[in-house]
Amino acid sequence: MDDRPDAQFEQLLDYLKEERGFDFSGYKRQSLMRRVRRQMASVEVAGFDEYQDFLAVNPDEFTALFNTVLINVTSFFRDADSWDFLRREVVPPMVTRGHGPIRVWSAGCSTGEEAYSAAMVLADALGPDDFRDRVKIYATDVDEEALAKARSATYLPRELRGLDDAHVDRYFEQTPDGQHAIRKDLRRAVIFGRNDLVQDAPISHIDLLICRNALMYFNAETQGRIIRRLHFALRPSGTLFLGKAEMLLSHVDLFTPQDLKRRFFRKAGAGVPERRAAIEPSAPTPGGSDMARLRDEALLSAPAAQVVVAASGELVASNRRAEALFGISARDVGRPFQDLEVSYKPLELRSAIQTAMAERRSVWEHDVEWQRPGHEGVSLDVQVVPLVGPDSEPLGATVIFNDVTRYRHLQQELQFANRQLEAAFEELQSTNEELETTNEELQSTVEELETTNEELQSTNEELETMNEELQSMNDELNASNEELRLRTVQVSELNDLMESVLSSLRAGVAVVDVGMKVLAWNAGAIDLWGLREDEAVGHSLADLDIGMPLEPLLPLVRQQLVGDAADSTVRVSAVNRRGRTVEVDVTITALRRSGAGVSGAILVMMLGSD
């Protein structure tokens, strides 16, 4: 494909800028044209002018085009090694330097994953309370569709790659439709807004600036403008976090590498002197009269540093300010100027002096920075003035170093204040958008609360009805409890009566169930066989160890249990508890309950009479 600018293509870019406010003029032409052609092919349009007409007729095509041009490739904790370095080396000094606010800017945030990743790292380091009080994250992009998704803060399970289970559990909530939503305390710390890195003012006072894989789409000139904006946005101790495909090798005056492999850079050249130093000229020339001494003292005390160089190249004079600023002493007067450090630091003066004398004009050098070891830096405007004699013969030159540090400082403060106002306006605009969104959410919440109130009213009526039913049931239960209490009293009296009857019978009585387990064992049986009640009750009749043989009795008991025989009496020889042989008449009767058939058998044991 031809790399030369295409007039129709440039016209299309102008149309996009006018219609939608997207300025692609700073993008690399080859890659930009390739992406536009790809979108044109998808809608089967061949020429750029035809595609412009297609956009005019189909406004929805703008979204598809921007999604193709603005490649939104991002994920949580993308390039995990770089995020580990951020967590380990960059964040700790940031959170421990004090209790002031921490400001983060995610430029080119796409759908928000990197902004939320930074929020998670800071929340891990600070804890929930300090994070809520100190952290503010600004996430910007030019793609409104991507910003809308970022503001929704919901992601599909496949979009959570790069997150461990601990981060998912701590910072996400699952929605009914199976997606994962950022928790509200984390979401509130992130403000999303539209910002074009090429056109819009940067956000200021930033501690951490994340701009990953956005610069690589711009040409060198546009990259330079953007990088200067990023430099302005950072605090003096701020950190710039770039993508793997980006370097700052040609901007060492603005940024110094902190970790070049992982693309972390520190802001350079942040120091600005606080005040303007007084200017003082060079050393005196001898004079014999008061007027000469006055001229000498005026030169020595001049507020601007000043040196005088002869046409032959020797230093003729310097004032006190020049001596203090450049370390010149009286011993240097008469030495070749080129042998002195001031001739080439802070700038090359020899060629400037030659130019001034040769062309008989003043030579200016502006914005010269001079950093003396152990001192604050100063900003100088250097003026080289040629000195000529009455016959226009060049005598030499005087070099005046005008200290404009305070002026530059005030100029920077003014620029900073202007940009801060622009950033504040952008922040206010973003806050207004957030407030509008919040207002809509509150309106929706009020409607939901009204609906919920109606449901609660209906539920309250149902509860009152149920309460009346429960009251009625409670009355019935009270009546049933009273009837049950009376029956319990009756049963207790019957039990007492039965125990009294059994205890009063002189004959031994044993009652067994259908499984031949002993249910009752009266005092007569205890006296007859010496077996206590607790030793008999609950045991099988066949297992009782008494002096009466049970083998002849068991078949008779079984007959009674199946209801096949009338009451039967049998005499057996036995040994009582005293060891005497006795004759015992055993009467076996079936135990019947009303309407329930045979439920056991009764054995009545009486000593036989001779």
Identify the residue with better confidence: 373 or 477: 477
Predicted pLDDT of residue 283: 39
Closest Cα partner for 366 from 344, 385, 347? Answer: 347
Q: What's the mean pLDDT in 399-417?
A: 83
Helix (H/G/I), strand (E/B), else coil: 443: helix
pLDDT tier, 596 (very low <50, low <70, confident <90, very high otherwise): low
pLDDT tier, 1 (very low <50, low <70, confident <90, very high otherwise): very low
Predicted pLDDT of residue 288: 43
CA angle (211 as vertex; 208, 216 as ends), nearest 5: 155
Helix (H/G/I), strand (E/B), else coil: 99: coil
Beta-carbon contacts of 501 under 8 Å, excluding residues fewer than 6 positions away, are none
**Residue indicated by tokens 């000229």:** 281
To the nearest whole number, what is the mean pLDDT of the chain? 82
CA distances from 300 to 277, 296, 340 (A): 16, 6, 19
Dihedral over alpha carbons 31, 33, 39, 44 (to 10 degrees):
-140
**Whether pLDDT at 167 is above 60:** yes
Predicted pLDDT of residue 210: 94
Predicted pLDDT of residue 273: 34
Q: What's the mean pLDDT in 7-31?
A: 75
Residues 261-288: tens digit of each pLDDT:
888 999 886 443 333 333 333 334 444 4
Name the residue type at position 56.
Answer: A
User: Which pair of tokens denotes residue 81?
Assistant: 């090694």
242-246, 252-256, 439-443 — which is least confidently predicted? 242-246
CA distance linking residue 123 with residue 185, whole number of Å:
10
Residues 359-397: tens digit of each pLDDT:
888 888 887 887 776 677 788 888 888 888 766 678 888
**Whether pLDDT at 314 is above 70:** yes
Predicted pLDDT of residue 115: 92
**Whether pLDDT at 300 is above 60:** yes
Give the pairing type, strands 102-107 and 135-141. parallel
**Whether pLDDT at 258 is above 60:** yes
CB atoms within 10 A of CB 171: 20
Helix (H/G/I), strand (E/B), else coil: 171: helix
Q: Cβ(598)–Cβ(562) under 8 Å? A: yes
CA distance linking residue 207 with residue 238, whole number of Å:
4
245-259, 289-303, 322-336, 593-607 — which is least confidently predicted? 289-303
Predicted pLDDT of residue 282: 37
**Whether pLDDT at 290 is above 50:** yes
21-30, 321-330, 362-371 — which is least confidently predicted? 21-30
pTM for the complete prediction? 0.42
pLDDT tier, 23 (very low <50, low <70, confident <90, very high otherwise): low
Predicted pLDDT of residue 125: 92
**Whether pLDDT at 486 is above 80:** yes
Beta-carbon contacts of 44 under 8 Å, excluding residues fewer than 6 positions away, are none
pLDDT-above-90 percentage for the chain: 15
Closest Cα partner for 585 from 574, 599, 598? Answer: 574
Residues 556-574: tens digit of each pLDDT:
888 888 876 778 888 988 8
The set of long-range contacts for 459-464, using a CB threshold of 8 Å and a minimum separation of 24, is: none
pLDDT tier, 122 (very low <50, low <70, confident <90, very high otherwise): very high
**Whether pLDDT at 297 is above 60:** yes
93-107, 119-133, 491-505, 550-564 — which is least confidently predicted? 491-505
Rg (CA), the chain: 52
Q: Is the peptide bond before 386 cis (omega within 30 degrees of 0)?
A: no
Identify the residue with better confidence: 275 or 48: 48
Residue 88 DSSP symbol: I
Identify the residue with better confidence: 101 or 294: 101
Identify the residue with better confidence: 282 or 448: 448
Give the pairing type, strands 378-388 and 568-575. unpaired
